[in-house]
Amino acid sequence: MSQPARTSEAGSVGVVETFHLDLPDPVRLDCGRELHPVRVAYETYGTLSPERDNVILVCHALSGDAHAAGVAKAPPESGTRDGFGAEERDGSSAKGLGWWDGMIGPGKAFDTDRYFVISTNLLGGCRGTTGPSSTDPATGRPYGSDFPVITVGDMVRTQRAFLDALGIERLAAVAGGSLGGMQALEWAISYPDQVDAVVAIASTHALHPQGVAWNAIAREAIMRDPAWQGGHYYGTGRAPDAGMGIGRMVGHITYLSAPALEEKFSRRLQFADDLRYTITEPEFEVESYLRHQADSFVKRFDANTYLYISRALTYFDLARQHGGGSLKRALEDVRARTLLIAFSSDWLYPPAASQDIDRALRSQGKPVEFEVIDAPYGHDCFLLEEARQTPIIRRFLARGGAG
């Protein structure tokens, strides 16, 4: 098992800046509440065509942000190359590279010579878009756990309002991996006349119950940390770092495959080949890795955002929300061409989930392509297997003719 090759011929989008836009109107939420004000952090790569018909919206995963490509103009606070777990492994965070830099740029999968790529931090986030750490206008203090419970539908509604404010009506494509793929699918259902193509990678129409359980455990770990303080920890000098660290550890193991862990760590000990007989200190390399991942994550991520986004992605269920229990009915209004990519070793968002979507679309005569890439890294493949995704995505987008 060797490291996947990165695309090296293609160029970079260079130095980029994150911008912010305040939405003019309140965002109506699925829970019945309205949210106002809402600020959206975003980056763009490439050039908007005069016809405004070459826009690709890129959606990020649980712990990502708007910085999807290029080198951050502002030095990264503590690492920005993120989507799930890949960033802390390959050290690129030190360079301030976007979390999908391998996929977005001149000649890359999302080709900025041709497309105008927009990436936003999602609603509920902690990297510039309004979320639980933002100021609640009703109190003048951070929302904390008074922030409304949000859904993937709310995230997409916010993106729609944001694009309206930019004067962009149609999307040549909306693309994302994992939770990002959920947003892409939601777009195709909620705004069928405004999306030409969907690219949903390592994603699903509804997380399976084991995935629901892993997310519940991560959230419990945060909420059981006394430093969470019922969700109102901002300004107290304490944060539920211990609990969120546990949640992140759980996440990391679910993002990798068992064979990948075997390949990477095996049962190697930290200190030569002798046990030190310790309960408190890491003894195996994989134990030390987990601690490092947890420690670096809590420095840059807000625990309440983790709670809210994790909740949203477990709620996500296209059949229940849009089809009265039927996935086929949920997808019946979709007009976009759809590309689904899954990875053979991904047990959190397994290929079977993408296959369900493929069948439901295909049975209604809708244009869909489904590719399973045989790769060993588990769910993290969507961040790592850029070289093998690139030709599939480029071919798919080229067939659309737009842009």
Select from 282, 328, 367, 394 the one that contacts a copy of itself (CB under 8 A): 282
**Residue 308, interface with a copy of itself (CB under 8 A)?**
yes
Q: Which amino acid is at 285?
A: E
- Nearest distance, CB of residue 333 and a copy of itself, angstroms: 22
Each residue 313-342 as x (binds a copy of itself by CB under 8 A) or -, in order, gives: -xx-x--x----------------------
- Nearest distance, CB of residue 61 and a copy of itself, angstroms: 19
Nearest to 398 by CA among 120, 190, 173, 123: 173
User: Is residue 379 flagged as an active site residue?
Assistant: yes
**Residue 1, interface with a copy of itself (CB under 8 A)?**
no
User: Is residue 60 flagged as an active site residue?
Assistant: no
Q: How far, in Å, CA of 24 to CA of 6, rounded?
A: 41
Element (H, E) at 396: helix 386-400
**Residue 347, interface with a copy of itself (CB under 8 A)?**
yes
Q: How far, in Å, CA of 110 to CA of 375, rounded?
A: 21
Each residue 5-44 as x (binds a copy of itself by CB under 8 A) or -, in order, gives: -------------------------xx-------------
- Nearest distance, CB of residue 321 and a copy of itself, angstroms: 9
To which residue do tokens 């826009």 refer? 55
The per-residue b/e assignment along 250-273, b for 16 or more CB within 10 angstroms, e otherwise, is: bbbbbbbbeebeeeeeeeeeeeee
Nearer to a copy of itself, 80 or 310 (CB): 310
Residue numbers 211-230 binding a copy of itself by CB under 8 A? 212-214, 216-217, 219-221, 223-226
Select from 14, 275, 292, 374 the one that contacts a copy of itself (CB under 8 A): 275
Nearest to 265 by CA among 246, 284, 249: 284
Residue 384, phi then psi, degrees to nearest 5:
-105, -35
Asked if residue 267 belongs to a known ligand binding site, the reply is: no
Q: How far, in Å, CA of 102 to CA of 79, rounded?
A: 16
User: Is residue 78 flagged as an active site residue?
Assistant: no
Asked if residue 248 belongs to a known ligand binding site, the reply is: yes
Q: How far, in Å, CA of 121 to CA of 388, rounded?
A: 26
Nearest to 244 by CA among 175, 309, 171: 309
For 124-191, the DSSP string reads: T-SSSS--TTSEETTTTEE-GGGSPP--HHHHHHHHHHHHHHHT---BSEEEEETHHHHHHHHHHHHS
> CA dihedral defined by 243, 244, 246, 251, rounded to 10 degrees?
150
Which span (70-78, 210-218, 367-375, 382-390) binds a copy of itself, by CB under 8 A?
210-218
Residue numbers 285-304 binding a copy of itself by CB under 8 A? 286-287, 290-291, 294
Yes or no: say if 300 and 331 are a contact pair by the CB < 8 Å rule.
no
Select from 8, 167, 277, 365 the one that contacts a copy of itself (CB under 8 A): 277
Q: How far, in Å, CA of 66 to CA of 68, rounded?
A: 6
Select from 249, 357, 368, 402 the one that contacts a copy of itself (CB under 8 A): 249
Nearer to a copy of itself, 52 or 311 (CB): 311
CA angle 210, 212, 213 (to 5 degrees): 65
**Residue 153, interface with a copy of itself (CB under 8 A)?**
no
Residues that bind a copy of itself (CB under 8 A): 30-31, 145, 148-149, 206-210, 212-214, 216-217, 219-221, 223-226, 231, 242-243, 245-246, 249-250, 253, 258, 261-262, 264-267, 273, 275, 277-280, 282-284, 286-287, 290-291, 294, 307-308, 311, 314-315, 317, 320, 347
- The set of catalytic residues is 178, 346, 379
Binding annotation: 248, 380
Binding annotation for substrate: 248, 380
